[in-house]
């Protein structure tokens, strides 16, 4: 018993030092638990991206998103966690919701945007991306660094997708222009972020509208080519978006059909780290091909 006392005293001192460190750092117990679990989240995201079974992914993602939202309650200023949530809501809505229920998808893209904005705020971005004047927004973007590229990217992506599905909104065109401003900054800071994501955005942005409404088919073609180059053509979503927006807008049935057919016939192991995205691309390509006769 006597020999145990020094050990107990040592443990007590260690515990006291730990508690002191917690108090000094300003972290709550919840924050410590959440931040300690972040490496598990990294692994979980990687595993989900490698999933090839769409039914399994569609069943698993909602529970994962709710778990992450619970973690965000405990650590609301965790920008990486917020980015995971924004990415998750975007991916789930695009992959499994918007074709069946556009109204529900709009709500999910709004939640995606809320999390992306929270990430921006926690990283010190001063302007409110939805209500700031364009001058205030441009000033904040000019000061932004590569560190906040992920938050800018998902903010722009979610805002644009919500607008794309809710075209009756009077503020839709203005919101789309704001999204483009955010993505233009991402393009300048890291054009190949998320597998050439900024170029995919602008391929759709310029290709999905007639020139009289701000479209530019040549620019769209250039951006899609650069997005394709970022993954040497292995991310199938690039060709799906090219067909769905640019080829369809140009009424180019041959390009529409050939690109989508190539996607459907592509090898399943083309890009293992983005296997889920490629399976989603194949599913969407089949859906778009089923609409070919109707649209052309």
Instruction: Report the CATH number that the domain containing residue 69 is assigned in CATH.
Output: 1.25.40.920
For residue 13, tell me if it sits in a domain. Answer: no
CB 276 within 8 A of CB 52: yes
Residue 3 lies in a domain: no
- Domain's final residue, options 190, 213, 245: 190
- Do residues 97 and 104 make contact, with C-beta atoms less than 8 angstroms apart? yes
d(CA 85, CA 116): 8
Q: What is the pLDDT of residue 10?
A: 54
- pTM here is 0.87
Average pLDDT, consecutive stretches of 10 residues, N- to C-terminus, the chain (296 residues):
43 43 53 68 86 96 93 89 96 96 95 97 94 94 96 97 80 86 98 97 96 95 98 97 97 98 97 97 98 96
pLDDT at 139: 96
CA distance 195 to 198: 9
**Domain contains 9:** no
d(CA 32, CA 40): 14
**CA–CA separation, 277 vs 49, rounded Å?**
7
**135 and 252 part of one domain:** no
Q: What are phi and psi of 22, to 5 degrees?
A: -65, -45
Q: What is the pLDDT of residue 45?
A: 84
Range of the domain at 184: 31-190
Are 42 and 167 within one domain? yes
- 178 with 232, same domain: the answer is no
Choose the final residue of a domain: 190, 224, 243: 190
- Supply the DSSP symbol for 211: G
């Amino acid at each position: 018993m006597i020999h145990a006392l020094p050990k107990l005293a040592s443990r007590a001192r260690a515990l006291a030092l730990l508690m002191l460190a917690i108090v000094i750092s300003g972290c709550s117990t919840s924050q410590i638990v959440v931040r300690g679990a972040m490496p598990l989240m990294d692994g979980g995201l990687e595993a989900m991206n490698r999933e090839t079974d769409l039914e399994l992914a569609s069943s698993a993602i909602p529970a994962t998103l709710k778990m992450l939202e619970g973690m965000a309650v405990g650590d609301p200023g965790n920008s990486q966690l917020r980015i995971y949530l924004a990415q998750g809501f975007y991916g789930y809505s695009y992959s499994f919701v918007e074709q069946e229920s556009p109204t529900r998808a709009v709500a999910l893209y709004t939640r995606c945007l809320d999390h992306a904005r929270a990430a921006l705020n926690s990283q010190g971005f001063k302007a409110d991306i939805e209500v700031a004047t364009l001058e205030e927004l441009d000033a904040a973007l000019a000061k932004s660094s590569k560190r906040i590229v992920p938050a800018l990217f998902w903010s722009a992506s979610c805002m644009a997708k919500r607008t794309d599905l809710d075209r009756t909104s009077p503020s839709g065109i203005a919101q789309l222009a704001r999204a483009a401003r955010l993505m233009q900054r991402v393009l300048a800071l890291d054009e190949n972020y998320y597998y050439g994501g900024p170029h995919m955005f602008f391929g759709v942005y310029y290709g999905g509208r007639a020139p009289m409404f701000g479209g530019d088919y040549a620019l769209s073609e250039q951006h899609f080519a650069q997005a394709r180059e970022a993954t040497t053509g292995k991310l199938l979503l690039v060709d799906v978006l090219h067909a769905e927006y640019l080829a369809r807008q140009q009424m180019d049935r041959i390009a529409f059909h050939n690109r989508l057919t190539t996607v459907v016939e592509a090898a399943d192991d083309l890009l293992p780290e983005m296997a889920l995205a490629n399976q989603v691309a194949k599913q969407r390509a089949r859906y778009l091909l089923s609409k070919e006769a109707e649209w052309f």
